[in-house]
Amino acid sequence: MEKEFNVVGHRLPMTDAAPKVRGTAQFTDDLTLPGMLYGKILRSPLPHAKILRIDTSRAAKLPGVKGVITGRDIPDRKYGIVPKAKDEYALARDKVRYIGDDVAAVCAIDLRTAEEALELIQVEYEELPAVFDPLEARKAGAPQIHEGIENNTSFSIRKEFGDVQKAFGECDAVLETKFFSQPVNHAPLEPHAALAQYDPFNGELTVWSSTQIPFFLRRNLSNTLQIPESRVRVIKPKVGGGFGQKIDMFAKDFCAAWFAMHLGKPVKFVYEREEVFISTRQRHPMHITVKTGMKKDGTILAQQFQVFADGGAYNSTAPTMIALSCYFLLIPYRVPNLVYEGYHTYTNKPVGGAMRGHGIVQVRFAVERQLDMIAKRLDLDPVEIRIKNSIQAGEPHPAKFIIHSCGFSDTVKKAADAIGWKDKRGKLPFGRGVGLAGASFPSGTNNMSHISSGAVVQWGQDGAVNILSGAADIGQGAETVISMIVAEELGVSLNDVRITAADTGITPLDPGTFGSGVTVRAGNAARLAAISVKQKLFALVAEKLEANAADLAAGDGRVFIKGSPEKGMTLSAALKAYQYSDLPMPIVGRGSWMAPAIEPTTLLKEEGNFSPSYSFMTQAAEVQVDLQTGKVKLLKMVTAHDCGRAINPMLVEGQLEGSVAGGTGQALYEDVIVERGQVVNPSFLDYGFPTFLEMPQIEVIEVETDDPIGPFGAKEAGEGTQLSTAPAIVNAIYDAIGVDFLTLPITPEKVLAALQAQARQE
């Protein structure tokens, strides 16, 4: 990359790294308020049941208990991030739909008392037949989980592009395969928490929440608790990871708010780890049938998909998930004929929701594995077919995606080279292998009515730049990236920039953190605000320098004439001059940005460009299978990523490495095991996350394409790599031992069983 920038492109540590490392950063649970009370939630022990009666009287009488509520105490309003998918109550009203469903809440002077009170609540249930499999749930006569939802299928989509049947007839090879992608948990290190305070006098509710979407939470609190939106203030403290799990709002938010409003005291809820596993969200388990038709030169002619997503008990982001799962099959490869049938079905199990690679991880695993399978049948090189079918920037797209920049084929080539493809593929000793997979991801979406991102930038006379942004940093470094963009634009150092992000009371509207759109959306808004603030200062400087404001530039703490940089003044002098001018106004600029794109739920009905830009990535993995134990060791992962331009390469690498960790878990380790609706491994001890010991050597290759839409050319970097990690590993396992795994995760048991079957066949 050319070193034309002072801040952008530099490997700068996150601006909030030190307080986090030193333990002084404040997450929601670190906040205390005078007179604060503690809340706990009573959860359903049954997967499906009518609530006949709840007796809270004994709990309410326990000394120290300040309140006990059930669903009947809260207005009859459903909540949810997707307006047309709202099917959830703050607390269950008539029935419970999964083990862990929210039944009642207590609030007490301390946690121990609240926990004791939970045991005193008596709930009389009438158990109903339950269903745990989405295919069963779709059958006639299956228990109905939500009233009025036929076949328990709340959302479905069928889309055809081109003429698939005709195209299959023209193929040299057609392969149909069934895959299954398992449920996994996001498990952010910070459990979900909320703290609420209410001012009964002016009716203002303030909620501090570990959330990715402060403005959506504001809207849902307003609607559910029936108070004006303008009287709800949501503040996002430091958030310790989300990965999509904190895109939803939860009982803790509504109950903390309700108690605060009715008791006049601040109230805090913090979920236990078990609650995070069972009662928040997980990645949708998916049954996927893929049929791919290919010409013998490797050209993909047609693909057909049938996808059954297991939604668990509620919708959460169902329509978005199913739409993403469909449309992102049309990228990064050119698929001229494609038909997709997808279903989101309720079961009496934990709820599926958005998770890093939302709805795409599952189908991408299937497609990328099957591409290798069909390549093998046609005796083609998996690398070659990926390059051959790669979509190109500017080409017409069947779903009307507009692709301004595309480095996909470069990522394939570079990843293959870096893993040593030519020397290793098919040539390593039995048990060792390499594999590769590709993907594409959006850089944000225009989601669900909060579509624009705003920013206000203020330049103090002390030289400090203050950004007000509604963007939600959940640990990924959004605040650092936005600050770097502004620092670059204003010619100051990153240290001179302070950002207040995500306080709906003072920061402008922003949709929040999802779809990997923060850098592009909030970054563009902040950049525009910075340009506007710069112009205000430049007008004065131009006068002092007897120059044209348009000829001025800022950099390295100075403002100068572009042509003759020696003619200028320090920013500090310029700011002082402004401050002591006749009308020393606050130097404030505003910016706003909205992606030229349609909303994802619209995709259920019609096509359209979905994202301002698309990133591309290829993973290449090398694995060693232990033939005695069946354990797969991921030795190396090459991550070639086209993120347009890395605003901060170190943070991009952090994102990519995190995605490798997540994808490795998906491929080899993680599984939310549910038995008759009961999660049996809801703890860090029982659930098999990869740890640092399982991490491979990671080589990051940045393929920069300088996208014309994003700030300084940036695109997505937060999720895409998660898509291609698992299939790259699975493909490498095939190369290592010649076994086709179609179900994740690939545990040692499965590997051993496969090796034994292989031995029997030989």
Give the footprint of a second copy on this chain (CB under 8 A). Answer: 13, 15-19, 22-26, 30, 32-35, 197, 199-204, 218, 222, 228-233, 264-266, 452, 454-456, 458, 460-464, 466, 468, 494-496, 498, 500, 504-506, 508-509, 579, 583-586, 588, 590-592, 594
Give least dist CB 745 to a second copy, A. 37
**Encoding tokens for residue 92?**
């269950």
HSE, side-chain direction, 13 A CA sphere, residue 550: 0
Q: Which residue has the tokens 């509520």?
A: 69
Give least dist CB 537 to a second copy, A. 13
Q: Which is nearer to a second copy, 13 or 143 (CB)?
A: 13
Q: Which residue has the tokens 């109903």?
A: 128
Q: Which is nearer to a second copy, 129 or 200 (CB)?
A: 200
Q: Which residues pair with 198 in a beta bridge?
A: 205
Residue 537 near residue 490, CB atoms below 8 Å: no
Q: Which is nearer to a second copy, 583 or 759 (CB)?
A: 583
Q: Which residues pair with 569 in a beta bridge?
A: 559
Residue 620, SS3 per DSSP: strand
Which parts of 46-116 are beta strand (E)?
A: 49-55, 65-70, 95-96, 102-108
* Neighbour count for residue 317 (Cβ, 10 Å): 32
Give least dist CB 531 to a second copy, A. 13
Give least dist CB 652 to a second copy, A. 20
**Encoding tokens for residue 622?**
């090398």
Q: Which is nearer to a second copy, 174 or 594 (CB)?
A: 594
Give least dist CB 532 to a second copy, A. 9
Give least dist CB 508 to a second copy, A. 4
Q: Which is nearer to a second copy, 550 or 585 (CB)?
A: 585
Q: Which residue has the tokens 């904190």?
A: 246
Give least dist CB 648 to a second copy, A. 14
Q: Which is nearer to a second copy, 175 or 569 (CB)?
A: 569
**Cα angle 183-185-190, degrees, rounded to a multiple of 5:** 170
Return the exposure string of 167-199: e unless at least 16 CB atoms fall within 10 Å of the residue's CB, then b.
bbeebebbbebebbbbbbbbbbebbbbbbbbbe
H or E element at residue 488: helix 478-490
Q: What is the Cα–Cα distance from 356 to 723, expressed in whole angstroms?
A: 9
Q: Which is nearer to a second copy, 256 or 547 (CB)?
A: 256
Q: Which is nearer to a second copy, 420 or 557 (CB)?
A: 557
Residue 428 near residue 735, CB atoms below 8 Å: yes
Give least dist CB 274 to a second copy, A. 24
Residue 12 near residue 484, CB atoms below 8 Å: yes
Give least dist CB 243 to a second copy, A. 24
**Sheet holding 193-199: strands in order across?**
65-70, 102-108, 37-43, 267-270, 193-199, 204-209, 232-235
HSE, side-chain direction, 13 A CA sphere, residue 466: 12
Q: Which is nearer to a second copy, 232 or 700 (CB)?
A: 232
Q: Which is nearer to a second copy, 202 or 761 (CB)?
A: 202
Give least dist CB 608 to a second copy, A. 18
